[in-house]
């Protein structure tokens, strides 16, 4: 998104979160004056740490505050092989077995990094790259939700929520609204089991944006 639109996005997200400028300042640690200047478009940019703080205060991903990349026109109404793979990952067969716990080589930290990389690629409009990675990321996140340790299970649900949210955003940008809404619905369900109080409202914001 162009810098001059940051203020408009900030105001919209703040209203969606039902926060006053003063409340957002308190939650983010960013001064009311900076927030006011951005929203009134008297200030057209901010340092990255400031944007991170505002995103955290709003309970959204930084990419949501910076804006989403432009949509890509769909060539036809049918799903190509890559979308079929994403659909199967998002919506496994009804009677599919429960996920197996991750193997000894699994790294939750690495999975988090890969999901963060996916968001970076999404923001750069590298949708094909993200779609190629999504099925494996979703499978790994599902496996993490079957970990024996409760803390690791909750972290797995957080990862699953974030990767399903990413799948939803990509689906919207590729013109697949049905897949987007299913992905976000499942993202919210996973987030609800993560123990992270900010993750559910963050994904709800994505759902509102989709509609």
In a domain, residue 126? The reply is: yes
Provide the pLDDT for residue 37: 93
Q: What is the pLDDT along the chain (211 residues), one digit of tens a residue?
A: 334 478 888 988 888 888 899 999 999 999 999 999 999 888 877 887 888 889 888 877 777 777 666 565 554 445 677 788 898 899 886 667 788 888 888 999 999 999 999 998 888 888 889 999 999 999 999 999 999 899 999 999 999 999 999 999 999 888 888 889 999 999 999 999 999 888 898 898 888 777 6
* Main-chain phi, psi angles of 210, to 5 degrees: -60, -45
Residue range(s) defining the domain that contains residue 153: 81-210
Whether 79 and 28 have beta carbons less than 8 Å apart is answered as no
Whether 166 and 131 have beta carbons less than 8 Å apart is answered as no
The number of beta carbons lying within 10 Å of the beta carbon of residue 106 is 15
Q: Are residues 49 and 20 in the same domain?
A: yes
DSSP 98: P
Number of helical (H) and strand (E) elements in the chain, helices listed first: 11, 0
Buried b (16+ CB within 10 A) or exposed e, 189-203: ebbeebebeebbebb
Q: Are residues 103 and 61 in the same domain?
A: no
Q: Are residues 52 and 92 in the same domain?
A: no
Q: Are residues 26 and 123 in the same domain?
A: no
Q: Are residues 58 and 88 in the same domain?
A: no
Provide the pLDDT for residue 3: 41
Q: Are residues 102 and 177 in the same domain?
A: yes
Q: Are residues 39 and 100 in the same domain?
A: no
Provide the pLDDT for residue 2: 38
Provide the pLDDT for residue 122: 87
In a domain, residue 28? The reply is: yes
- Among residues 20, 41, 66, which one ends one of the domains? 66
Whether 128 and 117 have beta carbons less than 8 Å apart is answered as no
Provide the pLDDT for residue 73: 52
């Amino acid at each position: 998104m162009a810098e001059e639109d940051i203020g408009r996005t900030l105001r919209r997200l703040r209203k969606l979160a039902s926060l006053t400028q003063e409340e957002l300042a308190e939650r983010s640690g960013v001064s009311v004056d900076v927030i006011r200047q951005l929203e009134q478009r008297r200030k057209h940019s901010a340092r990255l740490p400031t944007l991170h703080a505002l995103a955290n205060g709003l309970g959204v991903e930084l990419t949501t505050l910076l804006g989403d990349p432009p949509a890509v026109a769909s060539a036809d109404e049918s799903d190509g092989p890559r979308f079929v793979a994403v659909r199967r990952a998002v919506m496994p067969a009804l009677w599919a077995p429960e996920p197996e716990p991750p193997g000894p080589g699994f790294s939750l930290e690495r999975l988090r990094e890969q999901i963060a990389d996916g968001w970076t690629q999404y923001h750069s409009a590298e949708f094909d790259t993200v779609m190629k990675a999504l099925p494996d990321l979703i499978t790994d996140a599902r496996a993490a939700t079957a970990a024996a340790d409760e803390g690791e299970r909750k972290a797995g649900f957080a990862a699953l929520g974030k990767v399903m949210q990413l799948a939803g955003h990509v689906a919207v940008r590729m013109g697949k609204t049905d897949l987007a809404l299913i992905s976000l619905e499942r993202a919210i369900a996973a987030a609800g089991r993560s123990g992270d109080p900010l993750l559910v409202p963050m994904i709800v914001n994505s759902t509102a944006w989709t509609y």
